[in-house]
Amino acid sequence: MPMLRITPAIEIDERELEESFVLSSGPGGQNVNKVSSAVQLRFNAALSLSLPEPVRYRLMLAAGSKLTKEGVIVILARRSRDQGRNRAEARALLVAMIRDAAVAPKARYKTRPPRAAKEKRLEHKKTRARLKLGRAKPQMD
């Protein structure tokens, strides 16, 4: 059973990938109208058993406009005139997306500004206020 290795811990079964070849609008001259060199790679991320749940969730969030309502990621590769290169490019894009999703984001913890920073900010405000006050027209009572 052929597997597509993403990380040492994540592999995707090749049967989960669906490729179709379509006419390309890219370079190729008259060849564009005759040969289906563009590759449309479809991967059902929502139903994939190969991906751990957190990775699947982050992948679907990161996919953006490449994700359909059914949870299928559609990648279209048509940069090259060669069908094999476009196929490799589409797979590389999918692998890169999954690798990025496999990295868990660092947890952010709340921090507070130090007292010195607060005092510096307030001192700067006072300085600016005095400067602007000096620009005002004198009051005649």
Sheet with 72-77, edge to edge strand ranges:
17-22, 38-44, 72-77
pLDDT at 14: 83
pLDDT at 28: 60
pLDDT at 27: 60
CB-based contact 46:70 (threshold 8 Å) = yes
Task: Check whether 5 has a pLDDT greater than 90.
Answer: no
91 vs 4, residue with greater confidence: 91
CATH number of this structure's domain 3-102: 3.30.160.20
pLDDT at 31: 65
Domain boundaries, the chain: 3-102
Question: What residues contact 16, with CB distance under 8 A and at least 6 apart?
Answer: 43, 44, 48, 50
pLDDT classification of 137: cutoffs 50, 70, 90: confident
CA atoms within 13 A on the CB side of 124: 6
Task: Check whether 50 has a pLDDT greater than 90.
Answer: no
Report the C-alpha gap between 89 and 32 in whole angstroms.
18
Task: Check whether 61 has a pLDDT greater than 70.
Answer: yes
Report the C-alpha gap between 57 and 104 in whole angstroms.
11
pLDDT classification of 6: cutoffs 50, 70, 90: confident
Average pLDDT over residues 2-23: 84
- In the chain, alpha helices (H): 53-63, 83-102, 115-135
